[in-house]
Chain A
Amino acid sequence: MKSKTLYMIIAVLVLFSMVMTACTPKATEAPVVEETTEAPVVEETAAETEAPAGVPDREFLWTPALRQAVAAAIDREVIVDRVFEGRNIPAYHMVPSGYPFATEPFLDKYGTRDLEMAIELVKSEGYTEDNPFTFDLFYPPEHYGTTTADVMQVIKEQLEETGVMKVNLQSMNWAEYVDAFVAGEIPFFILGWFPDFADPDNWLSPFASCIGSPDNGVFYCNEEMDSLLLAAASAPDPAEREALYQQIGELYAEEVPTLPLFWEPEFVTYRDGVEGVTIGAPFEFNYNVLSFAEDATPASGSRDTIIIGTTDEVNSLDPQDAYSTHDWEVLKNTGMALLSYTPGTSELVPGAAAELPTVSEDGLTYTYKIKEGLTFADGTPVTAQTFVDSWNRLNTLEGQVSGLIQLYVDSVEAVDDLTVAYHLKASFGFFPALSAAAPFIVANPANFAADAINQFPDKIDGIGAYRMVSHEVGQQMVLEANPNYIGEAPAIKNVIIRYFADPTTMANAIEKGEIDVAWRTLGPVEAVRLSSVEGMTTVTVEAPALRYMVFNHQYPYKPAE
């Protein structure tokens, strides 16, 4: 081919793609969601045909009866057995059963399964065996693991067993998937959730509140639910909260904004001789309680260095920006939030704070006294002002996690050198649990500038049991005991976190003895394998990782399906 022709063709191709992208719509307009519902930006041309006899015309695809039918037709035990060999735990509520005020409303209302109820409900909407209720079910084939497709298949079978429902499975890759559900384009799909802080509110509001649900593609808004959620979140009295959450649970099973499926456990393996590996409900892995037994053979060859393997990646180590599990783990080991958890439990204890906070009468202000003599690892003193500064960072720098805290906190003030007060937007009773989260870890100005987010600092000299001394991105991170730590010095002086690209290599590494602990994400395959290998222990961690089905409540009903 002559070179001139070739260049022409390339130029045409380039021009063509330019035109194509210019014509494609870009960032969607944020739907303005207040207390009333609004239709999402979905241009669907509804066919102007008659609804088939028996099925009344309606605005939205999902009615409460249909949602309940789905809830009744699902058998979680079967899913868990068939796809996960019984490893996972059926979820009968959005809230983990280990949490305060948790109930099991779905079990109460539907039992483990009620096929008759499901059939009745669907038929009550006018559908029959000849004219079944047909809808699409979307899922991402890899993001939640390759077992997702199997789960979908079982669900499809279970729903179609009613004889009056027909399910079309649609797989869509993650990037597109997220775009699609946020834009309200898909009717029924699966998602996963991991808590930001250990309180039922974090498991309910994001899905069932008018303000939160669009972000998860739910588009659900119900006045009663909203007021209940708000009341429960801001009730100061635990007994009151319990009663309210009981009510919310029942309403949830009735309305089914989302449908909880099961909990996915995590696994951790540690070699014989390693002690102190405890990961409780808040899902915190504290390195400072780790130790080596007398007869241990440390991977590093030295008793004062422990090597922990992970397949996670560092996303951001800035406390006012970080928003992923591994990042928070590192931050909690190199720093302390206002409150902490006793390792392995969900008991809130003072962290950077000297004692548990005091609450104002109206429940809007939480006041914390800071421990005396608290300093960063490099000696810089920590005062109440430090906490105010950190809040300002979070509020002005718009990190990834800012939105979470800004939902609840209005302003922060330093009452005196050692006292800091948080003024909330409403009387959120779970604020103490929230204050144990990573965004409340103070940032050392030497590592984190006040005016910029620093996701990859060279060092972290925080207030935690360890300090970070080096970080080779993608390879390893080295933590050393913090000489200025206000608490008890850790048994093991050095921690090296080694980053692996895949769980199999990590499993091989612990088998070989190159690492002492294999943590996230070991995965069920490797965990099962390692549990039969001598010289190490594999423990299942009841991780609060939920898989749940989402109904898009504003997905339009199209009669001619």
Chain B
Amino acid sequence: MAEKEVLMQIKDLSVTYETRLGPVSAVEGVSFDILKGEILGLVGESGCGKSTMGKALMRMIQPPGRISSGKLIFDGEDIMTYDENQMRDFRGRKISMIFQDPMTSLNPVQRVDEHLVEAIQVHEPKTKPSDALGRSNTLMERLGIQKQRMKNYPHQLSGGMRQRVMIGLGLVLNANLIVADEATTSLDVIVEAKLVDQLKEIRDEFGVTLLVITHNIALVAEISDRVAVMYAGHLVELGTVEKIFDNPLHPYTYGLLSSVPNIKLDEREELYKMGGEPPNLTHPPKGCRFHPRCPKAMPICETIEPQFQEVARGRFVKCWLYENHPDKTTKKIEVAA
């Protein structure tokens, strides 16, 4: 595999929400890299912090939440040091986002072309309106929206078309990274399939890096180059898609993959259900946050939090099974490359 360049480095990112019940650590100590031109899938249950993660990358966390610590290094610069103006310029131009519900994510009283032209004019004020319009039209045509539909309002378009408008908004400023936050969740499978193809196309054609945040394992399997798994605010596993699906290291990942219903008709097995509930993040469990539900839990898991470590080339996992510690009685499991 050719060595890809690093586009963005997330170092030790933590996001905290100040609630009346106390601070909630929605994301804690997450570190990983996003490589240029890859499609990185970020999966996990609802509430695991993956959406927060996505927003944090663009520093879109609104009060009462905030990024409590960490660095976000994009193209060599730590965007945590950017002021508001720099961030505004950054958003949309360097990283853009596609949202879950395109109906509510588009301004109902604004036409399609107006959406795009506005984005251009805000970022590149010297652009002539006619040029901006031209650019928008061309782009949208490539995505499959004809010129006549550009004057429509969002409610006049189908779900799939609206999603494509969203994508267009992500691409119009030639962003380097597009974060797709549950972008296909509200679509039916056929439309979803089309969209998936489209996403792959734009990566191939435009060289855009994609971070696909989803709870849909099948989608991740379909589209991603690498997969990152989150649980309860922690990043628990990261690796290539083949390796993860072939050999999930973290017990949570294993459970997650087993939970996927098998579509084959003759093998009517019982659905595997993972025991227990995701933890309350105001008082997360001590030690490893997964330990209450983990079938492989050891005494040390209850007291000391494991590190997120590279256990083989390109394989990272946060689990005592793969780490040694004086308090641990058993030896760590070795992972093949």
Q: Per the CB under 8 Å rule, do A and B touch in the complex?
A: no
Identify the B interface with A (CB < 8 A). none
Identify the A interface with B (CB < 8 A). none
